Amino acid sequence: MGVVYAALMLMSIAYGTYAVLQNNVALVTPAPQRLAANNDAAQFLAYRNAVSVYMASHTAFIGTIPAASLTGQYSAQFLATAGNVVTATGTSGRVITSYAKVAAGVVQQAFVMSNGDASIGISHGTTWTSAAPNAVQTPTAMNTTVPAGDIVSIIQIGT
pLDDT at 144: 95
User: Span 79-87, mean pLDDT?
Assistant: 96
pLDDT at 15: 46
Q: How far is CA 122 from CA 19, 23, 28, 88, 101, in A?
A: 42, 36, 30, 22, 10
Q: Where are the domains of the chain?
A: 1-30, 32-157
Nearest 5°: phi and psi at 130? -75, 150
In terms of CATH architecture, what is 32-157? 2-Layer Sandwich (3.30)
- 9 has a pLDDT exceeding 70: no
- 6 has a pLDDT exceeding 60: no
Q: How confident is the model at residue 30 (pLDDT cuts 50, 70, 90)?
A: low
26 versus 83: which is more confidently predicted?
Answer: 83
- How confident is the model over 104-153, as pLDDT tens digits? 889 999 999 999 999 999 999 999 999 998 887 889 999 999 999 999 99
Q: Distance between CA atoms of 126 and 115, rounded to whole angstroms?
A: 26
pLDDT at 35: 82
How far, rounded to the nearest angstrom, does the alpha carbon of residue 119 sit from its chain's CA centroid? 12
- How confident is the model over 44-74, as pLDDT tens digits? 999 999 999 999 999 999 999 999 999 988 8
Q: Distance between CA atoms of 149 and 103, rounded to whole angstroms?
A: 9
Q: Distance between CA atoms of 150 and 107, rounded to whole angstroms?
A: 9
Q: How confident is the model at residue 29 (pLDDT cuts 50, 70, 90)?
A: low
Q: How confident is the model at residue 25 (pLDDT cuts 50, 70, 90)?
A: very low
- 95 has a pLDDT exceeding 70: yes
Enter the DSSP assignment of 101.
Answer: -
pLDDT at 5: 52
pTM over 0.75: yes
